[in-house]
Chains A and B, each alone.
Chain A
Amino acid sequence: MGELKLMKGNEAIAEAAIRLGADAYFGYPITPQSEVLEYFMAEKPHERTGMVILQAESELAAINMVYGAAATGKRAMTSSSSPGISLKQEGISYMAGAELPCLIVNVVRGGPGLGTIQPSQCDYFQATKGGGHGDYNLLVLAPASVQEMADFVELGFDLAFKYRNPVMILSDGVIGQMMEKVEFQEQKARWTEEEIIKNSTWATTGKPESRERNIITSLDLDSSRQEKHNNKLQRKYQDMRDNEVRFEKIECDDAEYLLIAYGSSARIAQKVVQLCRDKGHKVGLLRPITLFPFPTDVINKLADQVKSMLTLELSTGQMVEDVRLAVNGKVKVEHYGRTGGMIYSPTEIVEVLENKIIGG
């Protein structure tokens, strides 16, 4: 058993990164995720592990510092909230194109524009459909607890290096700000220069006589080569769909009605399932843990079992589109959401379920 602590989701991300032996964090303050940078700065990771922490002049600079660090084979990360993530999209697209591994945390707040500083899940499209310019995908993890905020740091970096692709932790203001018990692993060592050179043969670490020069770029002016590169990226995303789908099924075995929710909404949905079961309604919950790749197959199979589905999102309905694609018309799929930082209560959802789904 590791060390138990009570802390905020944002702080857990930072602590987990230090303990993992991550190399660098580059950030810029924005509510509701500023605790990530604040925690890092207070902890002096440079003394604990040698990890580099830098407050950049902008989100643009921060993501490009991550680009530079990641291109040398180091484990580099950044975090922000919705408007800041929009600014980072340029760099994220370049990193996807140049196939660079990194970890990006989005503690989502309500939009559009400057929006609100309250929690929301309105960046699902941006996170799962690319986000910046060009045909690309991020691997997207959706934590529903402070424990998962911590655990997904290691999982995220592992997946990022496995696929040489940016990984996003799509959190929100609830998970980022709430405090829970969290268990941490023992301190791990940072990768040595020898390990980096051996494991990331593509990294720009300085060209020795023994190998050709390494180049990190997302540019190819030759259209046929660029198309080939894009096809290679697509094969990689297909590999993710084949191998990396993660989800949690709660009370699904005998379910007649299915809730689908991720992140903070999934926590609320768990209570809804309990309330519904108390009333005799056979309601289950499917919680996608990876939003890309999306748990399409399991939802399609559940569509053969349940009478109808309801997606819960703190948005006007984004994930519901992927659910409907997965269900492919087999059963009715409804959406219920709140926006602007408003959050639904379990009883509010039970009422929606009874009116729209169970009675409908």
Chain B
Amino acid sequence: MEDKILKEIINPENIVYKKTKLMTDKTLSYCPGCGHGTSHRILMELIDEMNLQEKTIGVAPVGCSVLAYEFMNIDMQQAAHGRAPAVATGIKRLWPEKFVFTYQGDGDLAAIGTAETIHACNRGENILIVFINNGIYGMTGGQMAPTTLEGMKSSTSPYGRDVKTMGNPLLITELVAQLPGTYSVSRHAVHTPAHVRRTKKALKKAIENQVNGIGGVNFVEIVSNCNSGWKMTPVKANEWMAENMFPFFKLGDLKVDGKLIEKEK
């Protein structure tokens, strides 16, 4: 019976979706419900669809996605914590015709790597930065991140983030949008099919900008969940993210074609 169902499923006529060949068969190390898997997939789908595999060099960070190179079927380098934009600078300066991206979490990009992020963006390196922001250090077990919300609990802010002593959550995406070296800056999510489509569209535009040689950093933030670190079920984590993260990390375009988007007051 099971064999029959399986055969039915793999009947080419019934296939409506398949894994891109740019994702390896390695089992993802991410927790079930985590946004990393979807983010990886749409990025790899785009590189495949745009026929860029042979031109792509990716840079993995330190954090949950430290092993991104195990899952992405492209040439990749693993960078020291926070240094991915510097590593990508070294690659892109020497291979300007290649497509170069970094894939970084919030601790990597907005805490230890703030200087590298700001300066790569300010120099206008022609790279794509994909920034996964889940407001927590996932890999090391749920410590407070630069993007942890006020009052949000983590293992190093067990009574909630007290901004008086622990500092404020950092809106680094708003910050890099102000720099002349960024060409496009936007913030998205991947917790619903509609959001996945929007994120994929934004990533596609960002990739096109670089491939077309339009100078400057294309910066795509994806606000994501961390159900393990937040200690919630995946469904609850997504609800909590929409209710609490999105009001602070507002989704949408911040900069398009080198121009800041005016926000309504």
Contact = CB atoms under 8 A, between A and B. Distances in A.
A71 B91 contact: yes
Contact of B77 (A60, A61, A67, A209): A67
A221 B139 CA distance: 13
A66 B90 CA distance: 6
B79 A204 contact: no
For chain A, which range describes its interface: under 10, 10 to 19, 20 to 34, or 35 or more residues?
A: 35 or more
Interface of A: 23-24, 26, 52, 54, 56-58, 60-62, 64-72, 74, 76, 90-91, 94, 98, 204-209, 213-219, 221
B106 to A, nearest CB: 19
A92 to B, nearest CB: 10
Nearest to A66: B90
A310 B75 CA distance: 52
Interface centre among A23, A57, A65, A66 (most CB of B within 10 A): A65
Interface of B: 53-57, 59-60, 66-67, 69, 73-80, 83, 86-91, 93-95, 98, 115-116, 119
21 contacts: A54-B93, A61-B86, A64-B83, A64-B87, A64-B116, A65-B89, A65-B93, A68-B87, A69-B90, A70-B90, A71-B87, A204-B57, A204-B75, A206-B54, A206-B56, A206-B98, A213-B73, A215-B69, A215-B75, A218-B78, A219-B67
A235 to B, nearest CB: 23
Given A69-B93, A72-B94, A61 B116 contact: yes
Contacts of B67: 219, 221
B76 A213 contact: yes
A198 B261 CA distance: 47
A335 B133 CA distance: 56
A356 to B, nearest CB: 46
A309 B245 CA distance: 69
A217 B55 contact: no
Contacts of A64: 79-80, 83, 86-87, 90, 116
B27 to A, nearest CB: 14
Contact of A206 (B66, B75, B116, B119): B75
